[in-house]
Amino acid sequence: MQTMQLSRESRRIGGLLLLAIVTIEFGGFYLTRVASGQVELTDFQVAFSRAGHAHAGVLVTLSLVALILADATSLRGVLGYIARLAIPLAAILMSAGFFVSSMGAGRTEPNGLILVLWLGAGSLTVGVICLGVALLRSSFKGAEPAS
């Protein structure tokens, strides 16, 4: 069985992603304060806070998996960086979009900063398409995983 070692780029990005989990933990702490009534929010703001927190956690996990998948292809250069960074960027933008678009006392609908959420969705789309196509191309070419 062949073993694969992560590329230097993936190790660096992965290390940063693991450290970023501390910020997600802080978000979970904030949500416990919301749930216990220590922070007053509208139902809309509670829903967007939960969505922001959930998207951060899921997309950081997906980002870590994507690093391994990117290293399993022959992607290098700009496309390699897009495959490795677009999904973590989506984690930041989408979760931030939920939070910043619901800021403000008594808010019951998103403000104009909802655009940040949609920018994150675009980044996610670019990242998964780039990585998915690269994986399919490498499987049809019979390319060996990058070492």
How many distinct structural domains can be found in the chain? 1
In a domain, 56, yes or no: yes
**Whole-number Å distance between alpha carbons of 37 and 125:** 36
pLDDT for res 139 = 87
In a domain, 2, yes or no: no
Q: What amino acid occupies position 47?
A: A
Tokens coding 74: 């022959």
In a domain, 14, yes or no: yes
In a domain, 97, yes or no: yes
**Residue 64: domain span:** 8-139
pLDDT for res 2 = 65
At 96-117, the pLDDT tens digits run 999 999 999 999 999 999 999 9
At 124-134, the pLDDT tens digits run 999 999 999 99
Q: Give mean pLDDT, residues 9-33.
A: 95
